[in-house]
Amino acid sequence: MTFDETLEFLREQTGKTVEVSVALLAPGREEPVHLANFWGRVERLSESGPRARPNGWYVWLAEDESGPTPGEFRLDRELFDTAEVHANVVEEPEERTTTGSTWTLTIRQRYAVTTVEVYV
């Protein structure tokens, strides 16, 4: 996905609950290093403005019923490498009623990986 396609996908998730995980791609490490994890409901996307460099977009999360506090994460056009999204299909019919369906969006920005799990 391109940067603009990623923003459009996230806009389409407005009102949905997401879980966000941020990890660092550390040189010399095989696996990304986990930095943060938080969740909420996608409230809106907003551009960072002309004074912020590199220019980026914020994804604002509102407090969810099960979430502790609102949060946000940032996407920078200049740091953006790739993004991909895939559906997580629940195979067993009895699990579908308890866990629901999710989408996983994985965003790579220079030295960071942000994973957004969307609950639908």
- Domain extent, residue 91, equals 3-119
CATH number at residue 110: 2.70.180
- Structure confidence at residue 100 (pLDDT): 62
- Structure confidence at residue 97 (pLDDT): 55
| Total domains present in the chain | 1
> Bridge partners of 41?
17, 62
103 pLDDT more than 60 = yes
- Structure confidence at residue 39 (pLDDT): 87
For the entire predicted model, the pTM comes to 0.82
* Backbone dihedral angles phi then psi of residue 9, each to the nearest 5 degrees: -60, -45
